[in-house]
Structure 1
Amino acid sequence: MANALPKRASSEAIRIINRAITDRRALAEIEKEKLMRLMSSMMRENPDSVELNTISACYYALVSDIHNLLISTEKVMADLDCGKIGYGYFTENALTALGNALMIKEVYKYMKKYKFPLNDMGIHIAELFMSTSMFMLDFKVFNELKESFGAKLNKADKINKMDDFYHFLLKNDKNSINFSSYICDVFDVISREISRKAVINYSLPPISEYDFELHNDDGYEFINFSFTFPIESDLDIVLALEDEMLLAISKLNYSSEVKTKISFDFSIGEE
């Protein structure tokens, strides 16, 4: 079979990746093979192509290969650094890949370094930056983004939850730094270990969707993060992955006060 032409290769690769994301499923083996062939075609044409690096970042996020995701994203941002590209399609897709892979600290690093223009920012990136800035205790940026994009998000429930979390952090100011660090570390464990296992061992999509909510148990307030699996996921597999997640994060070196204030679980989505 003749190799796909580079432009056609990139379009086909994007189509395959978008289809898996839209369907919220893992890439099939035949799709992985096609993507490898398509990206090889692009690499032969131009190994430094920003389009190739962006597609690679999206691919590695889909298979929970965090090491290569970070390398690909760094290459995209290097092109932004040297002026080869401006803020737009490539940077937003690279940032989205990082966000989908739960890489809070990496998203925040680029967010602070480049100070992306609000006027050119897509709504999905604004939402990613809002949650990222809150988790990283950058309340100034959180409030700026909320003021600029809060009404446009059209997700009043999510905005309310962000506000609840914001006030929870302010109320627990003496522990807020530890809360932030704990959340980032747990997300990292889920992304690098549990999501990778979900993809490789069980052909599940990467763990990327989550919700959080403030709870009050007889006056004791805590935040719970719930990571959501597709509705067709096997319950026993999800529970087994949750057990592995809870065991892994139990080994993180944080006080019981921090761990009881921030909890995590897995759930299966509803129709």
Structure 2
Amino acid sequence: MRQQTFNNKKSTLYLTATPIGNLGDFSTRAIETLRNVSLIACEDTRQTKKLTSHFKINTHLISCHQHNERSATEKIITALEEGRDVALVSDAGYPLISDPGSLVVSSVLESGFNVSVIPGPSAFLSALVASNLPCDRFTFYGFLSAKSSQRKKELEKLSSREETLIFYESPHRILETLEDMLIILGDRKVCLSRELTKKFEEYIRGNISLVIKEIQDGVKGEIVLIVDGKEDEVPFIEDEKIIQAVRDFMAEGLSNKDAISAAAEKFNLKKNRVYNLYHSN
């Protein structure tokens, strides 16, 4: 199914990201979109009302949460059928990310209408780029199970993943989750982020054991936990064997530099390690 949003005359559902704390992060385009649509479907009307009041947005609000998503979807489809555009928002960040909205989107598309995105703040992406952990490959998992036994099973399945792992967690459960991670994943590097973009924004970076010590007295606010992926297991290689490999490559006619590179490639080691080892002997 091909959709050219701005080249057809179909009604559109706008998935609109909202601030995760700092209202200054709400874009001009997002504000204009919420003003121009005929209906805003939101997770909590009371929370969204604070946002719309601040930006003088008078659009009608309806609730759309996990307990009424089906009936809310019907109202949204009706509005779209009448030629009106609709926006879907969550309390903070993007709708559908650990929030309701999947049923709405699939139903709107099945009904032949447009679905478009108004980009904006994202808690897990903000936490990731500030974590000092690899950002090139990652898996967003969301919330782990509230029960320790089930949570450990989930972590077991994730334990072999080499990419960075991203979780949401509640403040009253974060300590237990970290303790389970220490048991299942080992003492990996993590970054605990909380209250992002707000007055009490905080990052706690370090190994899991260190972060556990740091939060013994508890933490408050919404939490994003970034966890380092599993490291490749590098087999132990005796120093003399590495040095001899460099000498052998040089005996074959390679330069000192090329011999070090060849030995590093042979043993899957970093060149600076081979260089330092060779020149220290």
What's the TM-score once normalised by structure 2's chain length? 0.28
What's the TM-score once normalised by structure 1's chain length? 0.29
**Pair member with larger Rg:** 2
